[in-house]
A and B are shown apart, each in its own frame.
Chain A
Amino acid sequence: MSWVNAVIQGIMTGGYYALFACGLSLLFGVMGIINLAHGDLAVIAGYVAVLLVPETHLPVVWSFLVVVPIFAIGGYVLQRTLLQASLDRDPFTTLLVTFGLSVVAENALLEAFSSNGQSLNIGSLIAYSFNPTSTISLSYLSLVVLGVAVVVLGALQLFLSRTSTGRLVRAVADDTEAAQLVGVNYRHIFGIAAAIAFATVALAGIANGMYTEFAPTTGPANLLFAFESVVIGGIGSLWGTLVGGIVLGVAQQIGAQINPAYQVLAGHVVFLAVLAVRPRGLFGLRTAP
């Protein structure tokens, strides 16, 4: 039964990975930006929550109500200024700029908060769980995060396919020049996409802070898992990102079941296996772009 439990825990970890990775996928899919600061953004969201919770007297679990809007606005502004300016040069510049942002963020956080770990204390909620059998334990927190991930991805999918703004996002992602030619202000649409991406990474950062400790330097390690989720699932597919996150999560938990030292390694092995067999990911387009 412990194997079953490993798979179930993996699925729930996968929900978190997907929540974390969908913003990365969106930035790449729409603007072609590979955001190397994505992991650091999640860490910053954790620190923002740590700072704001005492000020606003909100319960920690509701801190996202404040952090997510701040991140959405921040994402829009950053896209319209620094990221757009680097996109105007060439794609390679965005890679350097986001790498630079990552370094700056880490060092600024170290300066402001020291290297000690922090976490978002949700008290006894962390321990609440549901035990259908003696060997399977479902943590409420993990279930909620998985639920949030599914809802966020579903809402994002509906937004893209059913709304006129979502249609504009698809248009600029497909052909920015042609979109401009029919009157689309693509910079504004890029800003909206960045706002959404930042909002989702804020949610992921808060979830992460509730699960575990974070420190100024934990961003890049998280970024790796987000990358793996996106690539396993297939670039450009939101549901693919969810499946990618779950495949990665399950692989890690099964690896840990074999030997606790194999947790991260097992994830990397599955990632490489998927790359070897289906280079475009499980749900990626099979035809050349």
Chain B
Amino acid sequence: MAPLLELVHVKKRFGQVTIAEDVSFAVEPGAAVGIVGPNGAGKTTLFGVVSGDVRPDAGDVLLDGRVVSRLDPAARCRLGIGRTYQVPRPFDKMTVFENVLLAAQQGARARGPESYAHALAALDSTGLAPDANRLAGSLGLLARKRLELARALATQPRLLLLDEVAGGLTDLEVGELVSVVREANERGVAVIWIEHVVRALLATVDRLLCLAGGEVIGDGDPREVLASPRVREVYLGTDAAVGESVT
């Protein structure tokens, strides 16, 4: 069986800056993978390559063993790739429910009652149901992050790309979001999660990738990856959170 997602020799440069030199990895269906790396390591750009926002200079993206490199983001979403933005981008002038319903109808190609069921399930699992009729623009940061997650879940993804969901939240809030992500993962949704809050990541993922200088410098058991000399060298003095969790 082909892996759910496969990146093959992906290369991306912006001018002189190399974002990805030669990145290859595969993710199995239902996996939970974390990605760490210093700022500017190209983590978000890599998500762009997977979701279709960014066109790589070379290399391919495969979903279910099929090359999807030439498909636009909408087509990839319909094939099962859901993504959240680091800074949530809900449709502010719509209600929370409209935001999620739209995602269910477009991303999951659901119609009528089915689309409502998908939308309600996404709101329930993220705890947003009480806010369903509020305008998205009136929500606070935590609720916006939940909505970003709910919208991605409503598209019925098989692969969920999470970009720093925990950033800017309190420990308690992070815990709530982590449980939403774990729940989705337990239902069989594969998760790839970029996160600086390593504690949140370790509670969820069973595999960790470390990106630096456009390369994968660590890949495997989260604690082993964080303890490896190369990863520690990259992180030392740059990210206290990782330092703490390693020691």
Residues of A within 8 A of B (CB): 164, 167-168, 170-171, 174-175, 177-186
Contact among B52, B74, B91 with A186 in the assembled complex (CB-CB below 8 Å):
B74
Closest Cβ–Cβ distance, residue A180 to chain B (whole Å) = 4
User: Would you list the 5 A-B pairs with minimal beta carbon distance, nearest first?
Assistant: A183-B107, A183-B106, A182-B103, A183-B77, A180-B73
CA distance A27 to B109 in the complex (A): 27
Contact across chains for B106 and A168 when beta carbons are under 8 A apart: yes
Contact across chains for A182 and B106 when beta carbons are under 8 A apart: yes
Select from chain B the residue with minimum beta-carbon distance to A182. B103
CA distance A174 to B91 in the complex (A): 6
Select from chain A the residue with minimum beta-carbon distance to B108. A183
Is B93 part of the binding interface, using a Cβ–Cβ cutoff of 8 Å? yes
Select from chain B the residue with minimum beta-carbon distance to A236. B93
Q: Specify which chain A residues have a CB less than 8 angstroms from the CB of B75 in the assembled complex.
A: 185
Q: Specify which chain A residues have a CB less than 8 angstroms from the CB of B89 in the assembled complex.
A: 175, 177-178
Contact across chains for B74 and A180 when beta carbons are under 8 A apart: yes
Select from chain B the residue with minimum beta-carbon distance to A178. B89
Residue from the set B94, B101, B108 with the largest chain A CB neighbour count within 10 Å: B94
Q: How large is the interface on B (under 10, 10 to 19, 20 to 34, 35 or more residues)?
A: 20 to 34
Given the contacts A181-B73, A182-B155, A174 and B102 also touching, CB distance less than 8 Å = no
Interchain Cβ contacts under 8 Å between A and B, 13 examples: A167-B94, A167-B101, A171-B91, A174-B93, A175-B91, A177-B89, A179-B74, A179-B91, A179-B106, A181-B51, A182-B154, A185-B74, A186-B74
Contact among B73, B77, B105, B155 with A164 in the assembled complex (CB-CB below 8 Å):
B105
Select from chain A the residue with minimum beta-carbon distance to B115. A164
Contact across chains for A180 and B93 when beta carbons are under 8 A apart: no
Contact across chains for A168 and B53 when beta carbons are under 8 A apart: no
| Chain B contacts with A in 9-67, Cβ cutoff 8 A | 51-53
Contact across chains for B94 and A182 when beta carbons are under 8 A apart: no
Q: Specify which chain A residues have a CB less than 8 angstroms from the CB of B94 in the assembled complex.
A: 167, 170-171, 174
Contact across chains for B106 and A170 when beta carbons are under 8 A apart: no
Closest Cβ–Cβ distance, residue A10 to chain B (whole Å) = 32
Contact across chains for B83 and A167 when beta carbons are under 8 A apart: no
The interface bits of chain B over 73-85 (1 if a CB of A lies within 8 angstroms of the residue's CB, else 0) are 1110110000101
The interface bits of chain B over 86-108 (1 if a CB of A lies within 8 angstroms of the residue's CB, else 0) are 00011111100010011101111
Residues of B within 8 A of A (CB): 51-53, 72-75, 77-78, 83, 85, 89-94, 98, 101-103, 105-109, 151-152, 154-155
Closest Cβ–Cβ distance, residue B111 to chain A (whole Å) = 9
Q: Specify which chain A residues have a CB less than 8 angstroms from the CB of B91 in the assembled complex.
A: 170-171, 174-175, 178-179
Contact across chains for B85 and A180 when beta carbons are under 8 A apart: no
CA distance A183 to B78 in the complex (A): 6
Given the contacts A182-B107, A182-B155, A183-B74, A171 and B102 also touching, CB distance less than 8 Å = yes
CA distance A143 to B168 in the complex (A): 57
Q: Specify which chain A residues have a CB less than 8 angstroms from the CB of B90 in the assembled complex.
A: 178
Closest Cβ–Cβ distance, residue B35 to chain A (whole Å) = 18
CA distance A167 to B99 in the complex (A): 9
Select from chain B the residue with minimum beta-carbon distance to A184. B106
Contact across chains for A170 and B74 when beta carbons are under 8 A apart: no
Q: Specify which chain B residues have a CB less than 8 angstroms from the CB of A175 in the assembled complex.
A: 89, 91
Contact among B52, B102, B109 with A167 in the assembled complex (CB-CB below 8 Å):
B102
Select from chain B the residue with minimum beta-carbon distance to A164. B105
CA distance A183 to B152 in the complex (A): 10
Given the contacts A168-B106, A177-B53, A178-B85, A183 and B155 also touching, CB distance less than 8 Å = yes
Q: Specify which chain A residues have a CB less than 8 angstroms from the CB of B51 in the assembled complex.
A: 181
Contact across chains for A182 and B92 when beta carbons are under 8 A apart: no
Q: Specify which chain B residues have a CB less than 8 angstroms from the CB of A185 in the assembled complex.
A: 74-75
Q: Specify which chain A residues have a CB less than 8 angstroms from the CB of B53 in the assembled complex.
A: 177, 181
Residue from the set B74, B90, B108 with the largest chain A CB neighbour count within 10 Å: B74
CA distance A175 to B88 in the complex (A): 12
Closest Cβ–Cβ distance, residue A255 to chain B (whole Å) = 37
Select from chain B the residue with minimum beta-carbon distance to A175. B89
Given the contacts A167-B98, A180-B74, A183-B77, A174 and B107 also touching, CB distance less than 8 Å = no
Select from chain B the residue with minimum beta-carbon distance to A177. B53
CA distance A168 to B99 in the complex (A): 10
CA distance A186 to B91 in the complex (A): 14
Contact among B72, B151, B152, B154 with A180 in the assembled complex (CB-CB below 8 Å):
B72
CA distance A174 to B137 in the complex (A): 12
Q: Specify which chain A residues have a CB less than 8 angstroms from the CB of B106 in the assembled complex.
A: 168, 179, 182-184
Contact across chains for A181 and B102 when beta carbons are under 8 A apart: no
Q: Specify which chain A residues have a CB less than 8 angstroms from the CB of B72 in the assembled complex.
A: 180
Given the contacts A170-B93, A170-B94, A175-B91, A180 and B77 also touching, CB distance less than 8 Å = yes
Contact across chains for A181 and B92 when beta carbons are under 8 A apart: no
